[in-house]
């Protein structure tokens, strides 16, 4: 289990709907798109680098790396 990253990225106009917005992944800066308004604690996956991201704020949208179960690659 890895810890939640301190890296946080904020996007979106304060108080407005975030649906249709494109945010940047805090890991790779790839576009994260919301087709409906994001909810706090919602987990989304970056299609570029594959990390799971948690919505920690919605107005404006703030994303942080979500804790993940790491795989055992023969260790």
Partner 1 sequence: MKRAAIIGAAGYTGGELLRLLLDHPHVRVEAVTSRSLAGQPVHRSHPNLRGRSELLFTTPDQVTNCDVLFLCMPHGEAAKQIDRWSGVSPLIVDLSADFRLRDAAAYRTWYESEHPAAGRLAGAIYGLPELSREKIRESRGARLISGVGCNATAMNLALLPLARAGLIERVICDIKVGSSEGGAEVTAGSHHPERSGAVRMYAPAGHRHTAEVLQELGPINLDVSITAIEMVRGVHCAAHVIPTRRVESKELWKLYRAAYANEPFVRLVAEKTGLHRLPDPKILAGSNYADVGFEIDPRSGRIIAMSAIDNLMKGAAGSAVQAMNLALDLPEALGLTFAGLHPI
Distance of CA 23 to the CA centre of its chain: 8
Nearest to 62 by CA among 19, 10, 13, 14: 10
Q: How far is the CB of 50 from partner 1 (least distance, A)?
A: 3
| Binding map of partner 1 across residues 10-49, x = CB under 8 A, - = no contact | -----------------xxxx-----------------xx
Q: How many residues bind partner 1 (CB under 8 A)?
A: 12
Gap between the Cα atoms of 14 and 65, Å rounded: 22
Taking the least distance from each CB to partner 1, the nearer of 5 and 17 is 5
């Amino acid at each position: 289990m890895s810890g939640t990253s301190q890296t946080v990225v904020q996007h979106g106009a304060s108080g407005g709907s975030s649906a249709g917005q494109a945010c940047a992944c805090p890991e790779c800066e790839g576009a994260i798109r919301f087709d409906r308004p994001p909810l706090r604690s919602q987990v989304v996956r970056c299609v570029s680098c594959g990390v799971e991201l948690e919505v920690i704020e919605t107005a404006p949208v703030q994303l942080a790396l979500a804790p993940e179960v790491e795989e055992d690659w023969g260790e």
